[in-house]
Amino acid sequence: MKRKSLLALALLISGSLFFAACNSEEKPTEETTGQEAAKDQPETHGTEIKPEDVTLTTPLNQEWVKTGKSTYDLKCQSCHKLTDERLVGPGWAGVTKRREPHWIMNMITNVDMMLETDPEAQKLLEQCLVRMPNQNITKDDARQILEFMRSNDGVK
């Protein structure tokens, strides 16, 4: 029952935020028009990523770090800080030291599956009270975001 109440509260909050954003008097900027185009795309959900599907390399792939940062800037930074401070969602500092790479990538690409099956993802929802939206991020994009997260955590 507690889980359903939290989910209902999260949906109410997200609906309120969506309503407020949609009724804004601001003129569209290049950034908001890009977001509008993304909204018109159908949602995609990835298949479950297994531990053996992710190979970490050292040194980091700097091209992936750069691309991952660009994706973070566009789709993630409005809810996640690069420090341990929580904004809407948890901060990213140290996440690659606390979580397995496949867990991180599944959380990015398969939010619904993770919230249904993973106790740690469910705890995050209870703490943050807002469900992470599906950002239509592919497995390859998620791998690049993971590389950027590793860089943020000090991996060279």
DSSP state string for 29-86: -HHHHHHHHHHTSPP--PPPPPGGG----SS--HHHHHHHHHHIIIIITTTB-SSS-B
Instruction: Answer yes or no: are the C-beta atoms of 82 and 149 closer than 8 Å.
Output: no
Residue 87 lies in a domain: yes
Task: Give domain status of residue 43, yes or no.
Answer: no
- How far apart are the C-alpha atoms of 56 and 101, rounded to whole Å? 8
Answer whether residue 109 is part of any domain: yes
Residue 35 lies in a domain: no
Verdict on whether the full-model pTM lies above 0.75: no
| pLDDT score of 47 | 86
Q: What's residue 4's pLDDT?
A: 58
Say how many C-beta atoms besides its own lie within 10 A of residue 116's C-beta. 10
The per-residue pLDDT for 150 is 98
- Does the residue 88 lie in any domain? yes
Question: Taking residues 16-20, what's their average pLDDT?
Answer: 44
pLDDT at 129 over 80: yes
What is the pLDDT confidence band of residue 20, given thresholds at 50, 70 and 90?
A: very low
pLDDT band at 29 (very low <50, low <70, confident <90, very high): very low
Query: For the chain, what is the domain count?
Result: 1
Q: How many residues can be counted in the chain?
A: 156
Question: 30: pLDDT confidence band, cut at 50, 70 and 90?
Answer: very low
Residue 142 maps to which CATH number? 1.10.760.10
State the pLDDT at residue 103.
98
Residue 37 lies in a domain: no
In terms of pLDDT, which residue wins out, 12 or 115?
Answer: 115
| pLDDT score of 38 more than 70 | no
Residue 96 lies in a domain: yes
| Residue 15: inside a domain | no
Whole domain around residue 81: which residue ranges?
Answer: 58-156
